[in-house]
Amino acid sequence: MPAVPTVVTAPAVRRPDAATGGDDPAGLRDVVVAWFDEHARDLPWRAPDRTPWGVLVSEVMLQQTPVVRVAPAWHAWMTRWPTPADLAAASTADVLRAWDRLGYPRRALRLQDCARAVVERHGGQVPDDEAALLALPGVGSYTAAAVRAFAFGRRSVVLDTNVRRVLARAAAGTALPAPAQTVAEVRRAEAFVPDDDAAAARWAAASMELGALVCTARAPRCDACPVRDGCAWRAAGYPGDEHAARRRTQAWAGTDRQVRGRVMALLRDALGPVPQHAVDAVWPDAGQRERCVEALVADGLAVRTPGAGDDHPATYRLPH
């Protein structure tokens, strides 16, 4: 077996007796938390002066964007709109421009909707109740659990892609978790969460950090891993990814997402309304382009102003 494994796509050979690390949640927890105490990154949303709203903003930004790209954007964002009330009152066009190229701009719209909901439903204070958090726009099971843990120090089951991978390997002995989250997986994750609020919050941060820094997807750094000796995946001889055949790679070139991104970039960078011919220039396939522009309008990310004759074409802009 390799000292530092690479996740291969070959079929896995399963060993029924391999789960030597999965039977000791408390032991695994302790070494991960101890490792975290020494290796935690000094992220801005972990600073002592953080606010619940700042944590929520960071979680929404991090939903599909890596830490290194979120950090500077988060700082600028929180400086400009420190509270939910500030963001609720902002121009949506400014919000979308500040979101810049973080990706999935609908997240920016939902974040502003979330700010408005926090103001209207909760007096401008982020709730610590799970049901109230889940009811906020853009907040799903992961983000609700993360806000409870990282903003309020409350117990919750934080199960993101990193934690899923750590538990899949250390506890279940598989190379990677299933493509979609399973009920059994949530139950297993629950077994690892300490009863105590503070300990649960620390485990959440520590397990995520281990997945982000050591137990990475492609080339895990097992030689630097604190749970190496208790890892079921390592004990089983690093079997390959049993779900490899069912994982589909998301295409990018030529997709609607690329077209939408180009149109949004055009509208973001424009100083005023963008004439139809400028929009037409960003993508050659008229059918796909028009469909994407319609979708952006329907999503509330773009606004069309009808034209008036050949000399006055329709124009597009960001929503106010």
Partner DNA sequence: AAACCGGGGAG
Partner DNA sequence: CTCCCAGGTTT
Residues found near DNA in the complex (CB under 7 A): 7, 43, 45-46, 58-59, 62-69, 101-106, 110, 137-144, 146, 160-162, 165, 180, 205, 208-209, 211-212, 216-219, 247, 249-250, 252-253, 255-258, 260-262, 264-265, 292, 295
Half-sphere exposure of 191 (CA within 13 A, CB side): 15
Task: Give the nearer residue to DNA in terms of CB position, either 77 or 313.
Answer: 77
- Nearest approach in angstroms of CB 117 to DNA is 10
Task: Give the nearer residue to DNA in terms of CB position, either 33 or 313.
Answer: 33
Half-sphere exposure of 188 (CA within 13 A, CB side): 21
Closest CA to 122 of 50, 197, 53: 53
Closest CA to 195 of 32, 52, 26: 26
Task: Give the nearer residue to DNA in terms of CB position, either 62 or 126.
Answer: 62
- Nearest approach in angstroms of CB 170 to DNA is 15
C-alpha separations of 285 from 78, 257, 262, 267, 282 in Å = 39, 14, 13, 19, 9
Task: Give the nearer residue to DNA in terms of CB position, either 14 or 247.
Answer: 247
- For residue 315, the SS3 value is strand
- Nearest approach in angstroms of CB 30 to DNA is 20
- Nearest approach in angstroms of CB 44 to DNA is 9
Closest CA to 258 of 109, 101, 69: 101
Closest CA to 315 of 275, 277, 278, 269: 275
- Nearest approach in angstroms of CB 104 to DNA is 5
The yes-or-no answer on residue 38 being catalytic is no
Helix axes 67-80, 52-62, angle to 10 degrees: 140
Closest CA to 204 of 128, 264, 144: 144
Half-sphere exposure of 202 (CA within 13 A, CB side): 16
Contact 191, 163 (CB under 8 A): no
Q: What are phi and psi of 254, to 5 degrees?
A: 85, 0
Task: Please pick, among 38, 59, 190, 242, the residue that the annotation labels catalytic.
Answer: 59
- Nearest approach in angstroms of CB 166 to DNA is 10
Task: Give the nearer residue to DNA in terms of CB position, either 168 or 232.
Answer: 168
Task: Provide the 8-state DSSP code for 272.
Answer: S
Task: Give the nearer residue to DNA in terms of CB position, either 139 or 313.
Answer: 139
Amino acid at 14: R
Active site residues: 59
